[in-house]
């Protein structure tokens, strides 16, 4: 998000951006990409951030429901994955994280395509 925001926002605005929480940064980037703001991958990113926050701030977080939500979002976005329901949570989490990263990395190319139109 930081790298994308640095390219997307003017220097004074980016200076403020660096001080924001990740969720707020992601919301700013999402809002700046109107043509991609409805993409459901944003839900995946925000849910993964919620899980990260629980682990960062609690010794034994109860994240079962958040994991279930994350897996449900990812399954809707990527239904082609075979037998994912029988996979271990760690494997499913790895898939969800990979899909988040692929989406984030696609933001630059999507921005360039949109700017060309």
Provide block-wise average pLDDT over 10 residues at a time, the chain (117 residues).
77 79 89 86 95 90 90 86 67 90 80 46
**Looking at residue 32, what is its pLDDT?**
85
State how far Cα 8 lies from the chain centre: 17
Residue 75, token pair as written in the block: 């399954």
Within 13 A of 86's CA, how many CA atoms are on the CB side? Answer: 2
Q: What does the DSSP assignment read for 81-96? A: -TTGGGS-HHHHHHHH
Q: In terms of pTM, does the model score above 0.95?
A: no
How far is residue 59's CA from residue 64's CA, in Å, rounded to a whole number? 15
Q: Are 63 and 8 in contact (CB under 8 A)?
A: no
**Looking at residue 85, what is its pLDDT?**
57
**Looking at residue 116, what is its pLDDT?**
41
How far is residue 114's CA from residue 117's CA, in Å, rounded to a whole number? 5
> CB-based contacts of 16: which residues, under 8 Å, 6+ apart?
none
**Looking at residue 86, what is its pLDDT?**
61
Q: Are 48 and 63 in contact (CB under 8 A)?
A: no
> CB-based contacts of 108: which residues, under 8 Å, 6+ apart?
4, 7
């Amino acid at each position: 998000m930081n790298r994308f925001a640095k390219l997307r926002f003017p220097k004074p605005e980016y200076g403020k951006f660096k001080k924001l929480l990740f969720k707020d940064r992601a919301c700013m980037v999402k809002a700046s990409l109107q043509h991609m703001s409805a993409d459901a991958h944003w839900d995946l990113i925000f849910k993964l951030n919620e899980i990260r926050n629980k682990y960062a701030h609690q010794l034994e977080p109860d994240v079962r429901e958040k994991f279930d939500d994350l897996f449900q979002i990812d399954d809707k976005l990527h239904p082609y994955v075979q037998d994912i329901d029988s996979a271990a949570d760690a494997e499913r989490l790895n898939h969800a994280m990979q899909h988040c990263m692929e989406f984030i990395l696609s933001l630059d190319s999507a921005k360039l395509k949109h700017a060309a139109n």
